Chains A and B, each alone.
Chain A
Amino acid sequence: MNPRIVSALVLRYLYLYGRTPMRLIELIFWPIVELLIWGYLGMYLKEHAGAAIPTIVGHLLGGIILWDVIFRAQQGVAISFLEDVWTRNLLNVFVAPVRNMEYLAATFIIGFFRILVTVTMLSVISFSLYQFSVFEMNWAILPFFGNLLVTGWALGMISTALILRWGQAAESLAWAVPFFIQPFTAVVYPVAMIKPEWVQYVAKALPSTHVFEGMREMLTHHTFNWTHFFWACGLNVVFLGVAGWIFSSTLNTTRKRGLLTKFATQ
């Protein structure tokens, strides 16, 4: 992998965000709306069932902020790819000496920048309005963050592969794919709540579920659950490998079927 090429591709996205600040709205507006809704709901529940669930606000806000790590990382990959499609620039990139991994690495880095913007802003707002600090998770925030970042990248590669496979008609998948897993990954409720029970096995097969379970344990008992951590890491290795394979094989199939040019110039 050539860092010069990766940095050139990252520079392109930075120029883009610098030139079109309206794009930053999606990094700010929707996450704030979501945080406010869940934050106020949490306050309401705390007031009426506070004794029963003393950490409800933390669970909801922590879940929402960490969910945004997955979503922004996934968007970093999928939307960056779509930017090239929308601007008919895809062929210029694919006929340049750019490896698939370099292209993906640039989108991973952009995903990371997007997360920094969103999570910083949400953390400040949640502390100001609800006195909830993500630092209540102490150092555990780092492995939680890292694992969700990788899950987001994997989902981003899968989203991009689906768009490559079905063309621009499927571009709404760039926004939809993370929500395929959201109900089952126990973002704001424990896995035990998921019914029927066999679906809990599906939930536990997702790396992000172990992060959210670990987060709740950290906020409630102030203990870091290493079992959840190792499960999250192991499953992420599998997820990333499978997603990378799906992306590469879809790209190869698109080339074999001669669809890449049609797709890039339509």
Chain B
Amino acid sequence: MSAADREVILEANDLTREFDGVTVLDRFNFKLHKGEVLGLLGANGAGKTTAMNMLLGLTTPTSGTIRAFGMDFVKHRLEVLKRANFSSAYTSLPNNLLVWQNLTVFAKIYGVPNVKQKITELLELFEIADLRKRVTGQLSAGESTRLNLCKALLNDPELLLLDEPTASLDPDIADKVRKTIRKVQKERGISILYTSHLMKDIEEVCDRVIFLHKGKIVAEGSPEEIVKKADAASLEEVFIKIARSGDLAAAEGASASN
């Protein structure tokens, strides 16, 4: 079955957001299918964080709609959030609690059965089982990121929104995190919306990517297709060209002239 035939888990229709008269996201449309990892790429200010925040219900769209699991997100926010989860490099769990205490609180919020067993399973999955009784604030960046991901998987989400999950990690830990995310995603058929500035992340984890530039979609496809279409050597090269020239066609032109 092709990706397009699979069930749509999350979709945005003409999602637009303006701040003080400036359009930071302009009629953004996409569909995330079941079991698919969709990367949202773009330079700083491209609109991906705004898009992510609207998809999480943290920012209200100026216009447009979001549907998740076939439901209107605004009307059924709680039902959607029960089946989804989120992790970001820019949030943390309360740093004065122990690792197991933080996970226990969120497991209870999400109504996870067999809390202890679930926490053990996830800590082992991310190879941080020895940190169970550590104070969260004493964890390294890599350990903290993996703890955030444990929190994000507590409720066995069908939809996962990951905002730069490997930011500030060393290459070894980043590699481990990517591989674990991909492994869990494949085993459980999770649909993931993934943002990152690390093209290695995107190439390794994402099935399909959307490039945003100044709030508009400028390219869409698999990482290989986009690299080929832009006549570039790597996704990183495409990223830089789009960030500087604004669209894929210009990127192709720039590539040809180089």
Given contacts A92-B91, A95-B58, A265-B91, contact A12 B96 (CB under 8 A): no
B contact residues, range: 35 or more
Per-residue 0/1 for A92-135: is the Cβ within 8 Å of any B Cβ (1 yes, 0 no)? 10111111000000000000000000000000000000000000
Per-residue 0/1 for B11-32: is the Cβ within 8 Å of any A Cβ (1 yes, 0 no)? 0000001010000000000000
Contacts of A258 in B (CB 8 A): 17, 19, 50, 53, 58-60
Flag whether A20 is at the interface (Cβ < 8 A): yes
Contact A11 B95 (CB under 8 A): no
Given contacts A20-B96, A261-B53, contact A255 B59 (CB under 8 A): yes
- Nearest-neighbour CB distance to chain A for B52, whole angstroms, equals 9
Contacts of A265 in B (CB 8 A): 88, 90-91
Per-residue 0/1 for B75-110: is the Cβ within 8 Å of any A Cβ (1 yes, 0 no)? 000110110111010111111111001001110111
Within 8 A of B (CB), among A236-266: 252, 255-258, 260-261, 264-265
Flag whether B45 is at the interface (Cβ < 8 A): no
Interface of A is mostly: helix
Contact A97 B86 (CB under 8 A): no
Contact B93 A89 (CB under 8 A): yes
Contact B97 A15 (CB under 8 A): yes
Contact B97 A12 (CB under 8 A): yes
Interface of B is mostly: mixed
Tally of A-B residue pairs with Cβ under 8 A?
103
Flag whether A7 is at the interface (Cβ < 8 A): yes
Flag whether A222 is at the interface (Cβ < 8 A): no
Within 8 A of A (CB), among B29-83: 49-50, 53, 56-60, 78-79, 81-82
Contact A88 B91 (CB under 8 A): yes
Contacts of A16 in B (CB 8 A): 94, 96-97
Flag whether B253 is at the interface (Cβ < 8 A): no
Flag whether A49 is at the interface (Cβ < 8 A): no
Q: Residue of B at shortest CB range from A89?
A: B94
What are 16 sample pairs from A and B whose C-beta atoms fall under 8 A apart? A4-B108, A4-B111, A8-B109, A12-B105, A19-B135, A84-B94, A89-B92, A89-B94, A90-B91, A92-B86, A95-B86, A96-B110, A97-B109, A98-B109, A258-B17, A264-B91
Instruction: Please give 13 more A-B residue pairs, beta carbons under 8 A apart, in addition to A260-B59, A265-B88.
Output: A11-B104, A12-B97, A16-B94, A87-B95, A88-B92, A92-B106, A95-B81, A96-B109, A96-B110, A97-B109, A255-B58, A261-B49, A261-B53
Residues of A within 8 A of B (CB): 4-5, 7-9, 11-12, 15-16, 19-20, 83-84, 87-92, 94-99, 252, 255-258, 260-261, 264-265
